[in-house]
Amino acid sequence: MSEKAVYEMPLAGFVREKDLITVLAISRKTLERWCAAGRFPAAVRLGEKAKGWNVDVVRAWIDARTNGSAV
């Protein structure tokens, strides 16, 4: 039996793509599609080759869906 990766988002700051897809239990391709369609917030450029998502924005997005107020 394989164990799923567990990741807890930090209280503040940014979360990188690898960790975000673990938290959301989706594929990279799904994340790309959601961002392109405006269904998920876009990433923020953190450096020349680095991008991430603001933890507060991700938590608000998750809370909106958990509370039934998804757009």
Q: Give the pLDDT band of residue 9 (cuts 50, 70, 90).
A: confident
Other Cβ atoms less than 10 A from the Cβ of 58: the count is 19
Exposure pattern of 5-36 as b/e (b: 16+ CB <10 Å)?
Answer: eeeebeeeebbeeebbbbbeeeeeeebeebee
Q: What is the pLDDT of residues 21-53, one digit of tens each?
A: 999 999 999 999 999 999 999 999 999 999 999
* CB-CB contact of 51 with 43 (8 Å): yes
- What share of the chain has pLDDT > 90, as a percent? 75
Q: Please give the model's pTM, rounded to 2 decimal places.
A: 0.80
What residue segments make up the domains of the chain, in order of their start? 18-66
